[in-house]
Structure 1
């Protein structure tokens, strides 16, 4: 049975790379806020090509039991160091075998949150350039946060930004964003981008824009009303604009500590994870990015 995300552990995809270290730091700070345990998961993928070098493994060594022992020592040390620096938290490490994307997706079924570095090495090589990030964020059973090393500092300041388009996945993401804003005691900025569509074909450009923005704002007001009643102390602002979704969200991320989006949307956010928007966010946002998928 899948546990509630309120008490399920935070899983960190860890391979010893600088971005993985940034992801671990982010996860530790999150755990200090909500008290959840942390599990470092190293996915050990056995490869048989010449010249294979695993993270934390002596160059030139073939993947054998000694290589696996080095990996286990790497993960256990990282977990022990994190636990020693945060005695109030429970931190453990594990090494699992298999394709990284598949193993992480499986791990997410029992997790409350999955945190990944932007780029890794070994089992996470090319995390953002290839299909692994798309697969994990699209199919994980819990929210996924991607932390690039160059955005780690931004995670400690600013507001929370949520990209919303009125679709059910985006409203699930909105709920996650509100909860994070309340937990961190920071404002929430809700962003809704609009681009011309067929639904207003009979109107002029300016009329279509005004009609779409008005409809979008009405949808948002209804959704936000429920969350505002539940979290009255969260300051919420709304930004609606006729702009490309990725550009609008990336711009908002300059002053944010976290950008939150759903897995799939409609209108301006259609194909969030199957097209270029999510990739642009994960690679170019100025802060960590959370992708939330309905369980």
Structure 2
């Protein structure tokens, strides 16, 4: 009797979408820092990197930086369009947009003129590279999440992702005015804000134990408190099309790169 064997079926491997990072660079030191930061982050998650370069950029400098990461899929596009239009168009089909906080054209208080419009209108998370050198290079191994807004869950989710990928510690901060200060009304118990954040972190990544820090100051001054941090993760505010005072202050004053999450 002949025995027949049914061929075994090889399970189909699920398609894993590669994260996509867009980065704007213009040949200035902060444009170069944005490209370096984007490439380092892409290497931690095997993401593709699409470089949107200004006509003033140094092509050879971009090529040298990309050559240091030969395993990453990358493209370079030079567009005659305005930086704001090019970057906002890029944000439509990317997961993260990375820009330097200052370019060739400075706006109010030293922030590049394109930064606030891009962060406000971006269709994806935006990282603005700023701060002291060690923070930009990711040497502190601390990620800070600023809580107290309506997008706290997304802020914590992004902060946990970065902390896990970079093997960093996580700090949750919440700013509350000093007793007797009436310029900003306190709507929730500050301790409850931090406790909810702590519980969410533990539910998301059980091996990650966050540090909690309550800052007694006006909320817009909290950006100064994320010293020795490699990244500040913050929400955009509660009014679509407008950045909150807290977020805008962080883009002007934070001593480290700032990630502004984009709610779905």
TM-score, normalised to structure 2, is: 0.80
Higher relative contact order (CA 8 A, sep 6+): 1
* Aligned residue pairs, count: 242
Q: Which residue of 2 aligns with 1:42?
A: 53
Displacement of 1:153 after TM fit?
Answer: 2.6
Structure 1 unaligned segments of length 5 or more: list them.
45-54, 57-73, 197-203
2:87 matched to 1:104?
yes
Displacement of 1:136 after TM fit?
Answer: 1.1
Q: Which residue of 2 aligns with 1:262?
A: 235
Residues 135-156 of structure 1 show CA distances to partners (whole Å, capped at 9, x for unaligned) of 11112111111113x5343232
2:132 matched to 1:151?
yes
Q: Distance in 1 between matches of 2:214 and 2:86?
A: 38
SS at match of 1:286: coil
Structure 2 counterparts to residues 106-255 of structure 1, below 5 A? 106-121=89-104, 125-126=105-106, 129=111, 131-148=113-130, 151-155=132-136, 156-158=138-140, 159-165=142-148, 167-195=149-177, 205=180, 215-252=189-226, 254-255=227-228
SS at match of 2:151: helix
Displacement of 1:79 after TM fit?
Answer: 4.1
Q: Which residue of 1 aligns with 2:28?
A: 17
Q: Which residue of 2 aligns with 1:27?
A: 38
Change in CA separation of 1:19 and 1:151 when aligned onto 2, cut-off 3 Å = same
* RMSD of aligned Cα (Å): 2.9
Structure having the larger proportion of residues in helix: 1
Structure 2 unaligned segments of length 5 or more: list them.
1-15
SS at match of 1:232: coil
1:286 corresponds, among 243, 252, 255, to: 255
Q: Distance in 1 between matches of 2:22 and 2:98?
A: 6
Q: Distance in 2 between matches of 1:152 and 1:272?
A: 29
Displacement of 1:16 after TM fit?
Answer: 1.1
Confirm or deny: 8 A CA contact 1:15 1:42 kept in the other structure: yes
SS at match of 1:255: coil
TM-score, normalised to structure 1, is: 0.72
Q: Which residue of 1 aligns with 2:70?
A: 87
